[in-house]
């Protein structure tokens, strides 16, 4: 199924430049959205808790900072960029009391809208502008004159120009320099969660750990195992990022390429795909979202336990020692 891809010439910068924008949160995405929009000539204010450690940082960056409620009261475009699990409470307490008919409520991920944890009033626009990259990359590429591709979505179009607002906002982020894809809250949310769980985070990290364990259990030194299954991962991914899988395969040795075709299907089997389908089904039916929110409501019991468990894996200890030798890594 073909998607619609939009570029600079499709956007009207005057739309977002004429809005009063509130960026709620100043983390990875929040700082990138606020600074890029500010540098694009937009009227930006950052909404934070009064005791937020980011307050001074945002002010020193030249941004107008106020409480979340004050920012929501002033703005007519409110972009919520705090963690998924925090959005419900902040929305109910500080945002919904100040929403006016015709305002635009914006997100960079569809979790709370798609799964119904936030239900906006019918007389506001609900849009998404989702850069497909971490915030520091969104900011860096903007300052270098390029941009990160964005997804834009519209859940509610009360003013009948919500798509134009979303595209103009993406222009302000620098997204139209790379390309903006029209999508839906459902597709973005479900595909994003699946990618994180089955491939990018859950898949890759557990594959690396398993490879390390197989080598060290066979008697190979942990330091060498780290280089073979962990350190070189970035180099392979960089090649795929730049020139695709075919380009990567043309850059590695014939031995490595043959091993790719021979061994890959033994690791990623039909059983693996069946497990992936089960992961996707739990995302689609809301089971994962409920499990995650329930854990958040219990104080992140499972999350914090797993974080501590995996931080103590041997590969992390070995990796820390090796990375300390790399003078070019910023800490």
Residues marked active site are found at 109
**E strand intervals along 49-161:** 64-67, 77-80, 104-107, 125-131, 150-156
Angle between the 28-39 and 135-143 helix axes, to the nearest 10 degrees?
20
CA gap 168, 165 in Å, rounded? 5
Query: How many helices (H) does the chain have, and how many strands (E)?
Result: 18, 9
CA-CA-CA-CA dihedral for 8, 12, 17, 18, to nearest 10: -170
Q: Where are the alpha helices (DSSP H) in 40-105?
A: 54-60, 68-74, 84-90
Structure tokens at 280: 């996707």
Beta bridge partners of 156: 126
CA gap 306, 295 in Å, rounded? 12
């Amino acid at each position: 199924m073909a998607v619609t891809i939009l570029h600079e010439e499709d956007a009207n910068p005057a739309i977002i430049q004429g809005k009063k924008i509130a960026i709620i949160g100043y983390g990875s995405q929040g700082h990138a959205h606020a600074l890029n929009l500010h540098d694009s000539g937009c009227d930006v204010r950052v909404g934070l808790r009064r005791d937020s450690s980011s307050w001074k940082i945002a002010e020193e960056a030249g941004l107008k900072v106020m409480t979340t409620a004050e920012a929501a009261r002033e703005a007519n475009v409110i972009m919520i960029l705090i963690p998924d699990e925090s959005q419900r409470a902040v929305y109910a307490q500080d945002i919904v009391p100040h929403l006016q008919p015709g305002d635009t409520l914006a997100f960079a991920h569809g979790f709370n809208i798609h799964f119904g944890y936030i239900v906006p009033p019918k007389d506001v626009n609900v849009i998404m502008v989702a850069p497909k990259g971490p915030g520091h990359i969104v900011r860096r590429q903007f300052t270098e004159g390029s941009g990160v591709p964005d997804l834009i979505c519209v859940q509610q179009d009360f003013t009948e120009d919500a798509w134009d607002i979303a595209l103009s906002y993406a222009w302000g982020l620098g997204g139209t320099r790379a390309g903006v894809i029209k999508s839906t809250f459902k597709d973005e949310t479900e595909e994003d969660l699946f990618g994180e769980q089955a491939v990018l985070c859950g898949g890759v990290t557990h594959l690396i750990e398993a490879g390390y364990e197989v080598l060290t259990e066979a008697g190979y030194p942990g330091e060498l195992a780290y280089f073979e299954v962990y350190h070189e991962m970035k180099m392979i991914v960089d090649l795929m990022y730049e020139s695709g899988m075919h380009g990567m395969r043309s850059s590695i040795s014939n031995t490595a390429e043959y091993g790719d075709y021979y061994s890959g299907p033994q690791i990623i089997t039909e059983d693996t795909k069946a497990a992936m389908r089960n992961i996707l089904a739990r995302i689609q039916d809301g089971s994962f979202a409920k499990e995650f929110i329930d854990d958040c409501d219990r104080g992140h019991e499972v999350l914090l336990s797993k974080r501590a468990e995996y931080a103590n894996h041997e590969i992390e200890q070995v990796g820390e020692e090796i990375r300390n030798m790399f003078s070019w890594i910023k800490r």
